[in-house]
């Protein structure tokens, strides 16, 4: 009987430990490495919150990965003149933005760096004042990570301006 109680006690403690690890695992990972387990950036437009497409870590220059990865989510349709805010689950030490265009331009269906300006208002909201078209907004966040392969993370939004 005593042996059964000891085994039951150990099982309960182990179950609680597993529950705590699953619940607080992301915070523990961030505390140990300096980077969140799965960083996600959100784009908020007109009250709608969109998660970025294929969040992933990269050692330093993430730009080449913007075009190297396949998109898994459909484009976000945003009316021209809208404003967008960004939300990040964890606190990044830096944030950089790059705009790319894709689609037919004079019989050219390439994916290319855009010459459009990214304008932010006084509240830090991105003003979507680009012409109608298809874009990819890449957001690179920097993390204070001990692992150089987790120094930065890339987050992409496929946007159609209407």
Buried b (16+ CB within 10 A) or exposed e, 85-112: ebebebebeeeeebbbbbeeeeeeeeee
67: pLDDT strictly greater than 70: no
**Could you tell me which residues are beta bridge partners of residue 152?**
58, 142
Q: Can you tell me whether residue 36 is helix, strand or coil?
A: coil
Q: Please write the tens of the pLDDT for every residue from 87-138.
A: 987 778 888 899 988 876 666 667 788 889 999 999 989 999 999 999 999 9
Confidence (pLDDT) at 107: 61
| Cα 121 off chain centre by | 21
Q: What is the predicted pLDDT for the residue at 153?
A: 84
For residues 161 and 23, which has the higher predicted lDDT (pLDDT)?
A: 161
Residue 149 pLDDT level (bands cut at 50, 70, 90): low
- Name the residue with higher pLDDT: 117 or 21: 117
pTM of this structure:
0.70
Residue 30 confidence class, pLDDT cut points 50, 70, 90: very low
Find the radius of gyration of the CA atoms of the chain.
21
Q: Residue 47 above 60 pLDDT?
A: yes
pLDDT at site 83: 95
CA nearest to 49, candidates 84, 6, 101, 25: 84
- pLDDT digits over 75-86, tens only? 999 999 999 999
Q: What is the DSSP string of 55-119?
A: EEEESS--HHHHHHSPP-SPPEEE-TT-EEEEEESS--SEEEEEEEEES-BTTB--EEE-----E
Residue 139: pLDDT above 60? Answer: yes
Compute CA distances 50 → 47, 53, 145, 152, 155, whole Å. 10, 9, 26, 20, 11
Mean pLDDT of the chain: 79
Would you give the DSSP letter of residue 3? Answer: H
């Amino acid at each position: 009987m005593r042996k059964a109680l000891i085994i039951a006690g150990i099982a309960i403690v182990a179950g609680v430990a597993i529950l705590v690890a699953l619940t607080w695992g992301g915070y523990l990972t961030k505390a140990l490495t300096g980077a969140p387990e799965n960083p996600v950036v959100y784009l908020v437009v007109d009250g709608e919150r969109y998660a970025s497409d294929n969040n992933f870590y990269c050692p330093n220059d993430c730009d080449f990965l913007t075009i190297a990865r396949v998109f898994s989510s459909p484009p976000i349709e945003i009316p021209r003149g809208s404003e967008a805010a960004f939300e990040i689950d964890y606190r990044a030490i830096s944030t950089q933005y790059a705009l790319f265009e894709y689609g037919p331009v004079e019989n050219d269906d390439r994916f290319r760096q855009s010459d459009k300006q990214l304008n932010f208002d006084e509240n830090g909201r991105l003003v979507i004042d680009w012409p109608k078209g298809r874009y990819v907004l890449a957001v690179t966040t920097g993390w204070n990570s001990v692992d150089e392969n987790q120094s930065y993370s890339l987050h992409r939004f496929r946007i159609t301006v209407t």
